[in-house]
Amino acid sequence: MKQLLTDFIRLLFPHVCLLCGNRLCESEKHVCLNCLFDLPLTNLHRVPDNRMEQLFWGQARIDHATALYYFEKGNHVQQLLHQIKYKGNRELAVELGRILGEEIKDSPVAQVDCIVPIPLHPRRQKSRGYNQSQLIAEGLAAVLNLPIENQVLWRTRFNDTQTHKNAFERWRNSESLFCVSNGSALEGKRVLIVDDVVTTGSTFVAAAKALIQITNIQLNCATVALAV
C-alpha cells in the first residue's frame, strides 16, 4: 500500500532532474545519471601537490586538499551550489557530501579522525535556516564513518558575502575570521575541514590559521567545488 501511494504521488508530482528537467528514475536523486556523469570531476585527490593544495602554499599548513567538481560561472555545478546555498535544498547538500565521500574515501585526504565544517555566523545561519557546509559534512561523515566536530571552530564576525569580491578583497574579508573554543577536543587529531566552494582559498586559510594553534593538529581540506 505504501509503495502504491508513493507511485501515485510521483505520477501527480514527478521528480525531475534539477539540471535538465527530465523525469528522474526511482533510483536517481536530484540529478539524473546523464547529468551527473557530465559534471566536471576534478580527481584532485589523486594528484600530489594539486592546484587546490597550491592555494595554501606559504599561507597555511594543510597536508592534503581536494574538490569534487570544477566550478565555472554558468555551468551545472553553479546551479547545484545555488540550490544548496539559496534555494533551501538541504537534501541535495547532504547528497553532494555523500558523493564527495565516495570519491575520496580511499585517498590520503580522507585519512582523518573527524570532520570540521566551516561555520556560518549565527546571524547568517538564522536567516538561511541551516549551514550548507554542515549538511555536506553530514553526507561525507556517513560515507567515511567519521564524527563531526562543530563546537570547536567559530566565526567571529558577520562578514559580507564574498561572491563579487576579488582575491585581495576576499583575503581582507577573511582576516581573523575564526576563533577556536574547546581546542583540546582536537588535540593530536587529523582533521578534515569541509566547505561548499573554494575560489581563492581565503576562507580555508583563515580557518586553518585558527585551528593550527591546537597542539599536534593535522589539517586536510575538502570541498564540493573549486572555481577555475
pLDDT digits (tens, 9 = 90+) for 48-103: 999 999 999 999 999 999 999 999 999 999 999 999 999 999 999 999 999 999 99
pLDDT 10s digits, 15-31: 889 999 898 988 888 99
pLDDT at 179 over 70: yes
The single residue listed with the C-alpha cell 528514475 is: 25
Give percent of the chain with pLDDT exceeding 70: 86
Domain boundary assignment for the chain = 41-227
Cell of 48: 600530489
CB neighbours of residue 51 within 10 Å:
14
CATH for 41-227, among 3.40.5.50, 3.30.300.30, 3.40.50.2020, 3.30.1300.10? 3.40.50.2020
Give the pairing type, strands 153-155 and 178-180. antiparallel
**Do the Cβ atoms of 70 and 225 come closer than 8 Å?**
yes
List Cα–Cα distances, 150 to 185, 192, 194, in angstroms: 11, 12, 11
- Residue 208: count other Cβ atoms within 10 Å of its Cβ: 21
Residue 163 has pLDDT above 60, yes or no: no
